[in-house]
Structure 1
């Protein structure tokens, strides 16, 4: 048989966090459905946690049970004691050190040795895992990017050179122009917002403050380190010919710049594939486009063991009565005072609530004394919830969220209104879209109070404002889950795979010569 008859092998490298690995797995399944042998390569500490959290999985190169996608483990150099199933995931600094200093040599051996019947035809790299780009260049393997967040946040990051050139941010990435923009939804005429809007990277109504740019995380030293990380990422991303973006038509169309335009003067081709990333891909519209079957979210590996009693508890609640609260898998604690006021606000509503709250002192020490016992029956606290199943449940009406992109997309997919409490990173851009552009949710102020939490929940759950949010959410959801959106995303994936297949025979000849 000729090289053309062999499925080209594609290796996908996510940034090692749950919010990045999950959409990368969805992308791998979409690629596999178009005739490539897809493998997702994760660091060993992620692989071990997947194996521990998912029954029936072995260690080593394992099949994830969906469309022939495999999981491969890359040694990270992080000691087992620091990355066992009961330990917290490594911090950002430890992960960056592993990616830059330990993992490249192991990835290079994988690319040169080949697997699944042949050499690797293409590498798909999470933009935040740019450490893999120089490895691909050394091995002569074409590399494409994957951005697991919304297109708007990608444009904001890609605009860093222009923000520097116009003096909007300093060389360390901090705002060079002070903003009076408040953390709530008040009016403001801060100069930095006007300049950012003028760059055409975000819609005018976003009114994003320079203090809310994605790389401004932590204290000043942390911000400086993260900005250096982003500058290095941008330099490496120049090698991408294409970037697959976890975006959808309703998001892309609300940008001032077209989704089909290059990002930057010599930017890569941008291919939105968001509709294929929705939840576990279990969508009736998918069948209309490609005749595929729906899947259960149980087929998605997780770094944490979800508390399955959540669904039984929800089954006992009236339809549209529950407030679901979660700050995601990798957000630092919002502080004991905010946790306390949030807890008291939820209690004061008198409504049933499900709160996915890490069983960790940095989070739970902020709860009022005896809180869990006091709200038992009406309020349920769990360490980790099966989020997609929770948001799909008819009992859930409101989602109090940190506005992580995966969480945002899942809420839109299931038509659940949002109460936004962004913490860091791209969450501020996501929140601005939710509250200002799409108008499908409300934002808590930066000062969380019991009364503020109660009042916002009441506004979302009932009354004229709740009805308006429901109507806006349903209109947005219809634009996201339509067969047309699915087919557009499928067309982008097909175009990307066709390019790989065209180059595959030539690559095989080069490898054979070498």
Structure 2
């Protein structure tokens, strides 16, 4: 989710050849362990990433079930303005790398400054990729943050997406639009074009359930209609600061959450209200969607049975059928990066002892913490006297103490960007200091690494709660103070034997049965889509 970086939109347009809609008998054929696509074209219109799970799901299915001489899968992605390429760009590009030259894919990316940054890198090595842009209304020097992007989504982008859909759907070729729920405006655009819509949720199923429960939380008096807490956990109406600290079980069967961990309680009072309205708008627009694809796995909550019970008893008019489509990225090849990676850190790791290195990264923002916290984190890492790799963008390095890089040069390495998957898989890495972004969390589990957590925004606090309290594969730092950093590292690195056992067990569970469940969920979704569009299906899939 969500606010760890401004990738707020994602839309996939799945297109079938006209022959499909005119009775082609082998359009979507579900098989036991995947999906067989015959005579199918898929076009992707993506805004701001968040579709990595879905793209890799398509990749995995095709990897295991693609038929020789089958017509190619064509993917087009359109991405509006943001300040840097996101991890979503990387995974879509990974799909291109895997399937060219056998499967020509078309990746179309915006805006111009991102096009200029990445086009030469991609086009120099991969044929068959073209680039377009969708205007977003931003001035060249206008800041791009949660609020300006939200405005652009609501006021500038819909007409351009409408034009795209109109052009693609002249002969009724668009069979489904899959919309990232953070791009909820696209639901209305697709519906106005009378095209079936499925939702895509880029984070944990637990965070979706939390957002979905907002009306119930209001009814029970846990939050006010503006999203502010009251009754047991009162908020000052002016400042929005909690007057009473504590935890609350907002949903039955889910872990206790701090009241401050609700995703919209970020920033000042006005900002919190805008965020809450954003979530309410997404929730209201998504009501009535028949399907929801979730970038998550069944292990993401103890209350899975409770959730399934709710799904079966709630009206399908208001709530979608859920398909958890992760972890189909498991054991994927190394992701290409649109950032300049410092690969020297991998060679550096080769010279370190097993499980001795601390890896520090806060995701695509490469350092989204205040300068004071950079200073404290730097001193905390230094005081551990342990080897570390710290991904820290140049513009955040003003917070480093004077002479710091020279002092730690024997055992510390600060880089602007690292090949994260390779680093996490390396046997020398024993601890990952993370912001608890969802994709980073899944990568850490895949690589069997313990976590030292410092959530910053959005769903990261919920993710952290699961990491620490439910899965018990990490520790949350009390603050970013130097002594808290040193204490947290010591607890994870020296006293984390049980944590290591837990993360390895979780890795094994998710990496075996979880992959099969995810594939079958996608196959079942294809069946449901076909039933909706064509009225019949050809195979039964057990999930």
Secondary structure at the aligned position of 1:235 is classed as helix
Alpha-carbon separation, structure 2, partners of 1:501 and 1:65: 29
Q: Look up the match of 2:32.
A: none
Q: Look up the match of 2:372.
A: 337
> Given the alignment, which residue of 486, 493, 514 partners 1:485?
514
Cα shift at 1:65: 2.9
Cα shift at 1:303: 5.2
TM-score by length of 2: 0.76
Q: Look up the match of 1:22.
A: 52
Q: Look up the match of 2:16.
A: none
> Given the alignment, which residue of 470, 474, 482 partners 1:450?
482
C-alpha spacing 1:312/1:132, structure 2 compared with 1 (3 Å): same
Alpha-carbon separation, structure 2, partners of 1:274 and 1:238: 23
Aligned residues: 457
Secondary structure at the aligned position of 1:239 is classed as coil
> Given the alignment, which residue of 449, 469, 475 partners 1:436?
469
2:511 matches 1:459: no
Pick which of 318-327 and 41-50 moved more.
41-50
Secondary structure at the aligned position of 1:109 is classed as helix
Alpha-carbon separation, structure 2, partners of 1:90 and 1:404: 20
Secondary structure at the aligned position of 2:439 is classed as helix
Alpha-carbon separation, structure 1, partners of 2:60 and 2:184: 22
Q: Look up the match of 2:418.
A: 385
Cα shift at 1:207: 1.8
Per-residue CA distance 1:285-319 (angstroms, 9 max, x = gap): xxxxxxxxxx42234xx553332222222222222
* Aligned alpha-carbon RMSD (Å): 3.3
2:218 matches 1:164: yes
Contact 1:306–1:385 at 8 Å: present in 2 too? yes
Alpha-carbon separation, structure 1, partners of 2:486 and 2:364: 25
Per-residue CA distance 1:427-460 (angstroms, 9 max, x = gap): 1111111111111111100x33222211211121
Cα shift at 1:330: 4.3
Q: How do 1:174-193 residues align onto structure 2 when only pairs under 5 Å count?
A: 174-177=228-231, 179=233, 193=247
Q: How do 1:238-387 residues align onto structure 2 when only pairs under 5 Å count?
A: 238-255=287-304, 257-259=306-308, 261-262=310-311, 265=315, 266-276=318-328, 278=329, 281-282=330-331, 295-299=332-336, 302=337, 304-330=339-365, 333-360=368-395, 363-387=396-420
Q: Look up the match of 2:428.
A: 395
Q: Look up the match of 1:144.
A: 198
Contact 1:104–1:132 at 8 Å: present in 2 too? yes
C-alpha spacing 1:229/1:412, structure 2 compared with 1 (3 Å): same
Gaps of 5+ in 1: 84-88, 181-189, 283-294, 508-514
C-alpha spacing 1:46/1:64, structure 2 compared with 1 (3 Å): farther
Gaps of 5+ in 2: 1-18, 28-38, 67-71, 110-132, 235-243, 537-543
Per-residue CA distance 1:78-102 (angstroms, 9 max, x = gap): 558459xxxxx82112222222222
Cα shift at 1:426: 0.8
